[in-house]
Amino acid sequence: MIAEEKQTFAHGTVQDDDMIDPKLRVLQLVAHHGTVTAAAQALHYTPSAVSHQLRQLAAELGVDLVTQSGRGIRLTAAAATVLRHAEVLQAQVERARAELAAADEPGGSVTLCGFSTAATHLLPPAAATLRDRYPQLGVRVIEAEPARCFDLLLAGDADLALLVATTDTPPASDTRFDQHPLLDDPLDLVVPSGHPLAGRRTVTLADAADEPWILGRPGSTYHQLVLTACMAAGFTPTIAHYADEWDTGTALVAHHFGIILVPRLARLHESWPVARVTLHGEPAPARRILAATRRGSREHPVLTDALATITATATALHPPPRQPNDQAE
């Protein structure tokens, strides 16, 4: 499937490697992933092809770019210098493409990627806007975990990413990306109908400290998000069950197996006998949604239009806070 993605998305995207030596992209991906094998997988090359391009680039520059370090490799100081200049060059090329696109009808294709909620509620309207506004433009959407979104941007397999900020998100100072806060999506508590917390006028996350919790699998964005929120509220949750899908978690709540946190943008089936409780307190738990592009490409007219539609959709979809005693009938 990944190999097929590369064949479909690599040519004619907003980002195209034709203006930059592709061997520089190989070096960037090796630096990002830390191994030749992981970089090869991201680029949809074989490891031997990646190693060959690294050797070619080193020979052309007349410097060593990697050295052996145990069973792996380590980038040299010369490689760090090349990478620093490559990032500047990449950003400048992206800006040039944006200026050229503003002067003519954009063509080729653009790829939008994002986590599950974004791929459901935010990206389809943006993709439809681009399809209707630019008839010559091919538009594609990829649902992907936040960490993979950055991989897709770097590999040139995506042009705009929506993701949830976590401790693993590259810092805002990372010169490879432009990151723009899109919205703070509050987290609501979901408890069984008739639960004591459902009838309270004011509920804080700390009030649920002694409850059994349902979290996403360890390593998932949702798992990290809930753990971070609970720790900020002063407790470590007692994990009773794991569920990555909101529907699965809600079903478990409805059968009194525990409680969950769900983002305000997430839609739950109204048939489940659960109560969705608005949380108060400082800080009230929320997830920050970011829009990310490669540095320099954000002013591309296609991406500007996509971001405008995403922002408008997020504003329209974000409902007002529900009262603590609003229960599903």
Q: Given 57, 79, 104, which residue is the final one in a domain?
A: 104
Tell me whether residue 302 is in a domain: no
Return the pLDDT at 122. 93
Tell me whether residue 256 is in a domain: yes
Tell me whether residue 174 is in a domain: no
Tell me whether residue 217 is in a domain: yes
What's the structural domain count of the chain? 2
Residue 225 sits in which domain range? Answer: 184-286
Tokens of 152: 């897709």
Return the pLDDT at 279. 94
- Tell me: do 99 and 1 sit in the same domain: yes
Tell me whether residue 55 is in a domain: yes
What gap in Å lies between CA 10 and CA 12, rounded to an integer? 7
Q: Given 286, 301, 320, which residue is the final one in a domain?
A: 286
Identify the CATH number of the domain in which residue 230 sits: 3.40.190.10
Tokens of 67: 């050295």
Per-residue pLDDT of the chain (329 residues), as tens digits, is 334 334 333 334 555 555 778 899 899 889 988 899 988 988 889 999 999 999 999 999 999 998 888 778 889 999 999 999 988 888 888 888 888 887 777 778 999 999 988 888 899 999 999 999 999 899 999 999 888 899 999 888 999 999 999 888 899 889 899 999 988 899 999 999 999 999 898 999 999 999 999 999 998 888 998 999 999 999 999 999 999 988 999 999 999 999 999 998 888 888 899 999 999 987 789 999 999 999 999 889 999 999 999 999 988 876 544 444 444 33
Query: What distance lies between CA 64 and its chain's CA centroid?
Result: 34
Tell me whether residue 22 is in a domain: yes
- Classified as helix, coil or strand, 313 is helix
Tell me whether residue 41 is in a domain: yes
- Tell me: do 1 and 98 sit in the same domain: yes
Identify the CATH number of the domain in which residue 60 sits: 1.10.10.10
